[in-house]
Amino acid sequence: MTAWSHLPNAKHIDRIIADLKKNPGAWGATQDTAWIVTQDTAWNAAWTAARITAMAEERIATWGVAYDSVYDITTLNKRNSAWGAILALIAYDDCAYLFDEKIEHVQMLALLGNEQAILLYPACVAMQKEKT
């Protein structure tokens, strides 16, 4: 069992960590893509909002364990993509549907400022590459 196994999005957090370990190359361009698709300020705002939500719901300890589980896997840019997605999955119980959407739809939502899409977009791109 993991520190997040009690959360509704636990299986998606596990998928991200497993995919990052198995396919680190797929995560290589996602951080750059995320910064291009969403402005730096939008990403930071989404990150802050999700952290506030996670802390308000007393899930920050779970975030710390998930953060540590990704830390040694790969480079900072790749970790940031995974951390953002994991944070969104911890903070927002209803965001996992974005993994089933077309990449273009998630990108559009991110460009429109949807915090969940901003944080999940890099993971959606990386995990979509896994399917192709």
- pLDDT tens by residue, 33-47: 555 566 667 777 887
Q: Are 115 and 49 in contact (CB under 8 A)?
A: yes
> What is the predicted pLDDT for the residue at 14?
93
Q: Mind listing the pLDDT tens digit for each residue in 8-31?
A: 999 999 999 899 888 888 886 655
**Contact status, residue 7 vs residue 59, Cβ threshold 8 Å:** yes
All structural domains of the chain with their residue ranges: 10-131
Helix ranges (H only) for 38-102 are 40-56, 60-71, 76-91
Q: Report the half-sphere exposure of 72 (CA within 13 A, side-chain side).
A: 3
3 state SS of 74: coil
pLDDT at 66: 72
> Could you tell me the pLDDT band of residue 32, with boundaries at 50, 70 and 90?
low
Confidence (pLDDT) at 132: 47
50-85 residue pLDDT tens? 878 877 766 666 767 777 777 666 566 667 788 888
Report the chain's mean pLDDT, rounded to a whole number.
80
